[in-house]
Structures are given as C-alpha cells and as structure tokens.
Chains A and B, each alone.
Chain A
Amino acid sequence: QTVVTQEPSFSVSPGGTVTLTCGLSSGSVSTSYYPSWYQQTPGHAPRTLIYNTNIRSSGVPDRFSGSILGNKAALTITGAQAEDECDYHCVLYMGSGIHWVFGGGTKLTVL
C-alpha cells in the first residue's frame, strides 16, 4: 500500500522560513509524481498553492515555493506570516490504478 508521508505538525516564528515535506513510504518522490500542495483553513475547502512540483497557482504569494529536496517534494514558506497558520496538504499522482494519494497533512503553527 502506497503511503504519502507529511510531518503531522510544524512550528515557525513570524518572518521565519519553514520547509514542509512530502515523501513516500517506499521510494523517492520525483517530478514524475506531479506533486501539488494545498492550503486549508478550518471549515474551508483546500486552496491550491503549488502544482507540477514548483508552479505557483494564480494569486499565491511568492513567499510560497515548491521543489524536490532529496527524495521528497517540499513546500517552503519564506517570511512566514500569521495568516499562514493552517493545514497544508500534498498529493502525488500515481498514474493508472491508484491515481492520486494524499499525505496526512501538516498543521503549521506560526508563533
């Protein structure tokens, strides 16, 4: 069974930089998995931040960036703001069969 891993929680100071990761229980994440990232505030639908590894969705501030770091996909927030405190989800495209697998999400605290 394919499991996508994310840190359950992370903390960053206002103005600081944080990198959240998205990995595989077995194997490495590459651009071939088309990693995408979503931001979700309580009671709201997810909002697209990054797709195709590193392309920012329309209207997303440039303090959000995506990449592959080592064997994982990564979302980096540079200059974190209080409004960035929420949940972040990644999803990997697995191709035929399973299609998409989401990670468990990371709860980011800004304090």
Chain B
Amino acid sequence: QVQLQESGPGLVKPSETLSLTCTVSGYSISSAYYWGWIRQPPGKGLEWVGSIYRGGSTYSNPSLKSRVTISLDTSKDQFSLKLTSVTAADTAVYYCARPRVGHWFDPWGQGTLVTVSS
C-alpha cells in the first residue's frame, strides 16, 4: 500500500524559504510517472502547487511564478518542495500526492500546516 508523509517546519518567517519533504513508502518513487504538491489555505479550497516528472522535469502553478522548486531523491524515495520569498498568503496545509495516469490524485499525504509569521 502506497503511503505519503509530509515533513518540515511548521513555522516560517516572511521572506524566507519554505521547505517540505514527502516520504513515500510501499512504492519506489522512480516507478511513478510523476509526483505533486497541493496546498489549502485555512478555510479555503485546494490549489495545485507543482509537479515533478520521473525524468526530472518540473511544472508549477503560474500564480507562484518562479518561487517553486521541486526535486526528487530516488535513493531515499523522497521528493521535496521549496517555496521562496514566502508571505502570509502562503500559509496553508501542504499535501503531497501522486498524480495518476488519467490526471487524478491518489494517494494523498495527511498534510502539514505551514504558517508564515514573524
């Protein structure tokens, strides 16, 4: 059974970099076509943040411009998210998920709340 688990600091200061890691268990990360990050601000809807493909290509939400970096570590079955120059608007629960062939997401990690505050 594939399971995903997010980890990282729960508090980040404005203008600093948010860094999160998703650890995949029960599955080899190199076997999937792509992996992704999704976030949900408190009380709001979901937002696709970005995805990384097996070959290393990455794509991110244009609304986040060039602040997003996603990387793979196949030796640890992990993938990571870095979001630079954060503001309070980046406060959200961040989920990692596996996009499936057919363009849906499953499974999801349990999510981790990241608060941007000084």
**Residues of A bordering B, CB below 8 Å:** 34, 36, 38, 44-48, 51-52, 57, 89, 91, 93, 96-105
Contact = CB atoms under 8 A, between A and B. Distances in A.
Contact of A45 (B45, B47, B110): B110
Contacts of A45: 95, 108-111
A48 B46 CA distance: 14
Contacts of A48: 104-106
12 contacts: A38-B105, A45-B95, A45-B109, A51-B102, A57-B106, A89-B45, A93-B103, A97-B59, A99-B59, A100-B103, A102-B47, A105-B45
A51 B111 contact: no
Interface of B: 38, 44-48, 51, 59, 61-62, 95, 99-100, 102-106, 108-111
Contacts of A52: 102-104
Given A45-B108, A45-B111, A100-B103, A105 B46 contact: yes
B103 to A, nearest CB: 4
The 6 closest A-B pairs by CB, nearest first: A51-B104, A93-B103, A36-B104, A34-B103, A100-B48, A104-B45
Contact of A102 (B46, B109, B111): B46
Contacts of A96: 59
Contact of B62 (A34, A51, A98, A105): A98
Contacts of B38: 102
A103 B48 CA distance: 11
Contacts of B95: 45-46
A52 B62 CA distance: 24
Given A45-B110, A99-B59, A34 B102 contact: yes
A16 B33 CA distance: 40
A98 B108 CA distance: 20
Given A51-B104, A51-B106, A57-B106, 20 more contacts: A36-B103, A38-B105, A45-B109, A46-B46, A48-B104, A48-B105, A51-B103, A52-B102, A91-B105, A99-B51, A99-B59, A100-B99, A100-B103, A101-B48, A102-B38, A102-B45, A104-B45, A105-B44, A105-B45, A105-B46
